[in-house]
Amino acid sequence: MRTYLVTGGAGFIGSNYIHYMLKKYGEEIRIINVDVLTYAGNLENLKDVENLPNYTFVKADITDKDAISRIFAENDIDRVVHFAAESHVDRSIRNPEVFVKTNVLGTAVMLNCAKAAWEQPDGSFAPGKKFLHVSTDEVYGSLSEPDTFFYETTPYDPHSPYSASKAGSDMLVKSYMDTYKFPANITNCSNNYGPYQFPEKLIPLIINNALQGKKLPVYGDGKNVRDWLYVMDHAKAIDMVQEKGKLFETYNIGGHNEKENIRIVEIILETLQDMLSDEDPRKALVTKDLITYVEDRKGHDRRYAIAPDKIKADLGWEPETMFEEGIRLTIQWFFENEEWMKNVTSGDYQKYYEEMYQ
């Protein structure tokens, strides 16, 4: 039975990945989820798996080296899948330091503890051990020319404190691979959307506001472009890189689904109109009049677009969920999980929202 240590598994992508893996492999694998439960971590996301015998939750901070090395000492970990991070660009602009601590120092601690546990007396690493570092396309910066894409060879050019801290973490992983031949892969993925996404991010924020007839804040001219990928397609790609990826390689993961932000907002409104029944009082609220252009994000990257050619050619991965289908699945999930949304938007979220959008 292979043992996975998943960091940040109570967050958006981590919890979807855990669901994907437990569904696919059942009791062939064991998952230890290490998460400190920041505002973005939510054990509700894993309610349906929490009692499984092959799933364990450990509340710990990835910057706490004693706690992390204890987990390695007490368990024979085969794979690390490292999601834990501060992930929201707007928060990084307001409060960069915690991004450096979690994303850079936290990754250094994870690497060091894995290396200490896995390194053999001759300096080699036992076969089958692997560290997968989950990173972002934002490390490549912003594309200004149309029909240009991010490749694995594109030089790093991060602009926000978030992307700079993720770039720093990627560099640390690269340094471990180069210096120690540490068995790792890096994945750089585009924007994800889907169930369990915290409503500070564009898509769940727009769905939640629209259903309440609240303003839909669009930064700047609304023409910034992101490349959207349904989260389960990302989970599948991570599994394929674990299974078939060549050690020391980086793989870009993307949906080939570039859209301007304003178009995303319009599609959500159109889909809500289509999915809400005529009797539902919310149907009358969901109109384009809610769209409100607000002050632009500082240093707002204009366009991201991934070329997923390498992962397609080498591993046979490609996105399976078209945006029209993925957004319906996402909206349907939010319809069925109104309590989840109510819980995560009570308390601190209100304070964040007022400060951010007032």
Residues annotated as catalytic are 137-138, 162
Q: Is 43 in the site for ligand NAD (CB under 6 A)?
A: no
Task: Look at residues 22, 6, 201, 31 and name the one whose alpha carbon lies nearest to residue 84.
Answer: 6
* Contact string (CB under 6 A) for ligand DAU, positions 83-102, x = contact: ----xxx-------------
**330 phi, psi to nearest 5 deg:** -65, -45
Closest distance between ligand DAU and the C-beta of residue 208, in Å? 11
Q: What is the 3-state secondary structure (H, E, C) of 262-279?
A: HHHHHHHHHHHHHHCCCC
Q: Is 8 in the site for ligand NAD (CB under 6 A)?
A: yes
Report how many residues bind ligand NAD under the rule CB under 6 A: 30
Q: Is 188 in the site for ligand DAU (CB under 6 A)?
A: no
Q: What is the footprint of ligand NAD within residues 221-280 (CB under 6 A)?
A: none
Q: How does DSSP assign 69-130, residue by residue?
A: HHHHHHS---EEEE--S---HHHHHH--HHHIIIIIIHHHHHHHHHHHHHB-TTS-B-TT-E
* Binder among 22, 85, 108, 265 for ligand NAD (CB under 6 A): 85
Instruction: HSE, CB side, 13 Å, CA atoms: give it for residue 74.
Output: 10
Task: Look at residues 171, 315, 156 and name the one whose alpha carbon lies nearest to residue 251.
Answer: 315
- Binding-site partner at residue 218 among ligand DAU, ligand NAD, none, CB < 5 to 8 Å by type: ligand DAU
Q: Annotate 37-71 with b (16+ C-beta within 10 A) or e (fewer).
A: ebebbbeebbeebeeeebbbbbebbbbebebbbeb
Q: Which stretch binds ligand DAU (CB under 6 A): 69-77, 105-113, 217-225, 335-343?
A: 217-225
Could you say which DSSP state residue 145 is in? S
- Binding-site partner at residue 40 among ligand DAU, ligand NAD, none, CB < 5 to 8 Å by type: ligand NAD
Instruction: HSE, CB side, 13 Å, CA atoms: give it for residue 311.
Output: 30
Rounded-to-integer distance, Cα 331 and Cα 274, Å: 11
Q: What is the footprint of ligand DAU within residues 98-137 (CB under 6 A)?
A: 136-137
Q: Is 226 in the site for ligand DAU (CB under 6 A)?
A: yes
Other CB atoms within 10 A of residue 319 CB: 23
- Binding-site partner at residue 226 among ligand NAD, ligand DAU, none, CB < 5 to 8 Å by type: ligand DAU
Q: Which stretch binds ligand NAD (CB under 6 A): 66-74, 84-92, 285-293, 333-341?
A: 84-92
Pair 21, 232: CB distance under 8 Å: no
Q: Is 308 in the site for ligand NAD (CB under 6 A)?
A: no
Rounded-to-integer distance, Cα 93 and Cα 96, Å: 6
Q: Is 195 in the site for ligand DAU (CB under 6 A)?
A: no
- Binding-site partner at residue 219 among ligand NAD, ligand DAU, none, CB < 5 to 8 Å by type: ligand DAU
Report how many residues bind ligand DAU under the rule CB under 6 A: 19
Q: What is the footprint of ligand NAD within residues 175-204 (CB under 6 A)?
A: 189, 191-192, 198
- Binding-site partner at residue 102 among ligand DAU, ligand NAD, none, CB < 5 to 8 Å by type: ligand NAD
Rounded-to-integer distance, Cα 117 and Cα 119, Å: 6
Q: Which is nearer to ligand NAD, 36 or 210 (CB)?
A: 36
Q: Is the dihedral of CA 172, 178, 183, 185 positive or negative?
A: positive
Interface ranges with ligand DAU (CB under 6 A) = 87-89, 136-138, 190-191, 201-202, 205, 217-219, 224, 226, 261, 297, 304
**Binding stretches for ligand NAD (CB under 6 A):** 7-8, 10-14, 35-38, 40-41, 61-63, 83-87, 102, 106, 134, 136, 166, 189, 191-192, 198
